[in-house]
Structure 1
Amino acid sequence: MLVVGWLALLRSSAPAVILYQAQGQDYAQSLGGEGLVYPQRQLALSLPFAGKVDAVLVKVGDSIAAGQAVLRLDPVELSLQLKLARDEMAAAASYLQDVMSSGNPTAVAQARQRYALAKSKYEALQTRSSSLLAEDCLLAPLSGVVTAINVVAGQSFSANSSLLTISDQSTVIVHTRLPLRALGLVHVGQSAEVFAATGAAPVLKGTVLTIVPRADPQTDTFEVWVGLDNRQGMLLPGMSVFVRIAAQGKALGLPRLAILDLDLAPAVFIVQQSKAHLRPVHVIARSSARVFIDTGLSSGDLVVLVGLADLRDGQEVRIIGTEKG
């Protein structure tokens, strides 16, 4: 009798709890972050040889078409550069012929290498000249907007120096950062909305192009690239914008009250055979009143909703009610 009474006393002292039965529910989560606008393509024009500018045919801000002349170059300088490269190749070929008669394998190998380099340089100059030059003019290789000009008429330039920059802004890419907890909610091809931080432009529709597979440990964020049509010129490179991505799905929904340590290490108490067991969970989405779990729980699990104070893992509980979602 004493044993039975003692057990009854223990049961009566067990904390009273109200449970919530986890069930699958639809969620809609709005994700947002600030971003910067970048052109889809930007090219700094250069030439593999030195030369001199006769005239600048465009100005910053001009819209140009692929194949349009942007600089007129000094034809004497162009011919001189090609002649120098051709003479260098001819000299290397002549040296190779002389060395081959000597029978020295090392000298022959070095001469072959010298000739190959000279020939490659000359052919590269010819190819680049034929693709970018016409009638002594430098041609734009793509359509876009002139965003920088680094030379003036009469100025000499060195090989591979940047002469001007063309930016294709018909399509732009917005780089934005989202919190790591949103990682499972964003995917390539998802729709996004972009609007200027100043409110100067209407809301534009875009698509998630890339999820950069790298986290920033200082901000606990990851980077997402959103592409959008900008043929109307509503956005400019360098502009600050805001990105909004609507995520939808299905997960196990719980009231926020049932989640312990929501922001750092989310966990819940589930009850099995009148005992409470602490279980970590992963939160995929949240609203003002509910939290949605994608791992750590199963549909039908009974989660402690009321009575969490001072509850311990493995502790026996007294169930006084159960709610369903």
Structure 2
Amino acid sequence: MEGDTLALQIAYKGGALEGVPEAVSANEFIVRIAANESVLSLKQEIERITDVPAETQKLIMPKLFLRSAHDQQRLRDVLPADVLRAYSGGAPGTAKKPKITLIGTRINLAFKIAETKSENVERTYINEFKPSAAARSRETLEEQRADKEYCFEKIEPLSFLPQKERSLEILQRLAAEPGIRAIMRKHKFRVGLLTELDPATNTSMTSKCLGLNTNHGQKIELRLRTDSYDGWRDYKTIRSTLCHELAHNVHGDHDRAFHDLWNTLEREADRLNVFHADSGHRLTSQEFYQPPESDSRDGETARAQMAQAAEKRRLQEREGQ
């Protein structure tokens, strides 16, 4: 079984799919993957086919709901025996098989990007439902004007890395969040360039840089990819890194004032995201990060990595002066 190829037939509940290889119907498709691959590898392959982000996918089958806790487990160890038997051998077959359902929202339904004459990126949002008049009225003319002044002037991936379209989508998703837009307006943040950070040139034996802020907002770089370039980092941590780097627009050192502002930015962004979701005024259909009252162990680790790496960079910069 370990070397077997699975031909999983998956039904997508988000509507019809177009241009999907090995389509079975308008919303069903085949995913071929080795049984000894991880659950996360399956999600990443589904993301490649459907544009449903791996971190927001819900995969449901008889006797099993695949959660993020399963991500590092091998398919042959976690899938029910009847599912493995039905889908092993690499061929879809004709016999009735256990149903596998995919729930999630495709990124390309959330928004489209239009370039302005000045080559800056202008965000044009596409709602999956029409907001109520009351919800629309909450975004005042003043807020719309402020969005143009306090914004990310340019959003660009690293052109020399593969799958730059995916990096662009993640950066655009961050910039489009109602909470992020709100803290940009409130704190009068303006960032010249939002881009990704190359893991290869920002990782050493002793530190891992998760983000960089150059000249108090001239440029912000975020680490989007895994160290081995074979996947994408957790969206929650990327979003927290963005709030961290925005706090450096005001404070250079990692002192109490910096940490207070960082925590404030995360709380404010979260509160605005929840408000827009509850009011029916969702600018996209993505599942935005909502940080818990207390950070998880993974969150604490990420925050510690960000602080340690940034402090080391600043010490090195001072020594070089």
TM-score tier, shorter chain, comes to under 0.3
TM-score (norm 2): 0.17
Q: Larger Cα Rg: Structure 1 or Structure 2?
A: 1
TM-score (norm 1): 0.17
The structure whose residues are more often strand, as a share, is: 1
The structure whose residues are more often helix, as a share, is: 2
* Higher RCO structure (Cα 8 Å, ≥6 apart): 1
